[in-house]
Amino acid sequence: MQAQIVEFESTVAADLSAYTAIDNTVTSFAGLGEYEIFLDTDTGVLDKPIILVDGFDPGDTRTIPGLYSLLDFTGSQGNQNLADLVRAQGFDVVILNFPSYFRLSDNTLLNIDDATDVNADTVIDEADYPGSTLVNGGADFIERNSMLLIDLINTLNADKVGDEELVIIGPSMGGLISRYALNFMEEDSQDPETRLWISFDSPHLGANVPIGFQHQFNFLGFGLGEDLNVTELQGIVNGLLKSPAARQLLVDHFETHLASGSEVSFDPTKLLPEAHPYRGVFDADINSLTPTGFPQSTRNVSIINGSGIGNAYQSIAGTDVTSGFPVISGTFQDVGPSTDATIEINLTPSIGSTAQVSRVLVQFLGFITLFDEIAFSEAPTFTNGVDAASGGLFDLGAFTSGLGGDPLIDNFLSALMLDKFSFIPSVSGMALESVPNGEVNWFHNINLGDPGSSGDTVNSTPFVNWYMPDDNENHVLLTEQNVAFALSEIIPETLSNTDFENITSIKIERNPIEDELAILSNKVLDNVNIALVDITGKIVFNSNQTLESRTTLPLNLDTGMYILNLQTKDNYNYRTKIIVK
């Protein structure tokens, strides 16, 4: 099974009838997925599967190799990969991808990788297969992709050796796909045989693309007229912003602001943030399956990339980004024959206020106005505009890659004051509960305390453990710190201490540690070998000592996870995890 991509169709078609009531072109059908199994590097037997679920990926740009490399990180020991580390510890990594595919006129599915340019026009599209529909799997309905994950869960549970339960990691939208799948299985009385679900910077309360960018991209792409339209932006609008997944996830969506009868102009009376109708359907759907809207049979933990202490993210100039921040303001000459353009974008305003978030002014010969398109936004009375909130950051390069060449776009890119924006607000990644009337304060001070504590009313969360950095990081960025957290959850707490418990009781006084490890014992044990091994198998500490009631070991170790091995002179063994922060 290793090094072989398996393509499959889901055995159950997700019920999308509620979306059909909004858009009659929506159809319920079984989806197409693909997965690859990377067996552990120890036994090479499929016995401890970890599933990595792809997230939002319009056009399937990552594919399975790209998803594997998504687990790369740089630490004190250089470049490493989380999948490599867990495989060295006996776990198998299974990557689930959602490719683009055609639904043909006979309702069969054809992976775009297997399609051919039938009409020889150098483009593989629906024209090559009359009557077909191209499905952008990486941005398709979350429910349809969840059915694929359910089939993979059942397949792995049937094929694995032994009874080890699964671990599921859901980065970004993959966290919602896996959450929905686990919820659905519980509601359907299916046993997922899954012990741990890791939500990795997932938008449980919604995601954000600044509404000023949405207006700007849509107008420049479609509103300037055939001779001036920036056609390169049309793919961003149609393939990304108008995708089913974006409509399900964005807390403010440009289509809800459009004036009646217009595809590009905003209605000046529609100022408050408003999600696409798909979002309400999805929220009701995912929350109706279990009592809490989250899996009940798994251990649920969260890793986010947004600041957990409310720090602002930074502009290109290194200043704090605040509400109403001016992203771009400039007049660019000769974007067309004798044509100039003035472009302005601002982030959403502060609480209760109204401000311009986008403007496109196009003039011919410097004084004849061809277009003067303006969009305004109003912040709610309970929160500042979401754009400046702490959160996992979306790199604007992912939007603008390959767009160079058009004079207007080249000038636009060079004048930007931001290279990132808040994509997954911190409060969304932590799925803060008890939000009154759905009024999410995107700037709420997250003060959850230690895992397991009650916190205050608006700080309850469905997660029992979490990792939140102090500073905002790029969305789904792995760091040495959050990898150590993930490993501490993936690898069982006590690895083998049954024999040891027959002779004594051993405890670690505090974990994580910093520069000192304290071992507590209810008996004095002579000549105990104490070893610490890093996740790559390298011994970083080795000593023979007498264990007393409290034994302290001064350490100087890099941040990360380590295995503590204790062996008595009678060959009794104790092994557990140590986290160094």
- The two structure tokens encoding residue 72: 């790369």
The radius of gyration of the chain's CA atoms, rounded to the nearest angstrom, is 26
Q: What is the C-alpha to C-alpha distance for residues 153 and 166, in angstroms, rounded to an integer?
A: 8
Q: Are 206 and 428 in contact (CB under 8 A)?
A: yes
Domain ranges of the chain: 5-100+136-200, 211-276+315-386+398-419, 494-580
What top-level class would CATH report for the domain 5-100+136-200? alpha beta
Give the pLDDT score at 35.
98
Q: What is the C-alpha to C-alpha distance for residues 20 and 39, in angstroms, rounded to an integer?
A: 41
Degrees to nearest 5, angle at CA 174 with 168 and 177: 90
Q: Are 95 and 106 in contact (CB under 8 A)?
A: no
Give the pLDDT score at 400.
66
Q: Are 314 and 307 in contact (CB under 8 A)?
A: no
Give the pLDDT score at 1.
41
The third-level CATH classification (topology) of the domain covering 494-580 is Immunoglobulin-like (2.60.40)
Q: Among positive and negative, which fits the CA dihedral 39, 40, 44, 46? A: negative
Secondary structure (3-state) at 219: helix
Burial class (CB in 10 A: 0-12, 13-18, 19+), 168: buried
Tabulate helix, strand, coil % of the chain (nearest 5).
Answer: 25, 30, 45
Spell out the per-residue pLDDT of the chain, length 581, in tens: 445 899 999 999 999 999 999 999 999 999 999 999 999 998 999 999 999 999 999 989 889 999 999 999 998 778 999 999 999 889 999 999 999 999 999 999 999 999 999 999 999 999 999 999 999 999 999 999 999 999 999 999 999 999 999 999 999 999 999 999 999 999 999 999 999 999 999 999 999 999 999 999 999 999 998 888 888 899 999 999 999 999 999 999 999 999 999 999 999 999 999 999 999 999 999 999 999 999 999 999 999 999 999 999 999 999 999 999 999 998 887 777 888 889 999 999 999 999 999 999 999 888 899 999 999 999 999 999 999 999 999 998 776 666 666 677 777 888 899 999 999 999 999 998 766 777 899 999 898 876 655 555 456 899 989 999 999 999 999 999 999 889 989 987 666 566 666 777 788 887 788 889 999 888 898 999 999 988 777 889 999 999 998 999 999 888 888 889 898 888 788 888 888 87
- The two structure tokens encoding residue 175: 């966290």
Per the rule left: phi > 0, alpha: psi between -120 and 50, beta: everything else, 241 is alpha
- The two structure tokens encoding residue 415: 């004048």
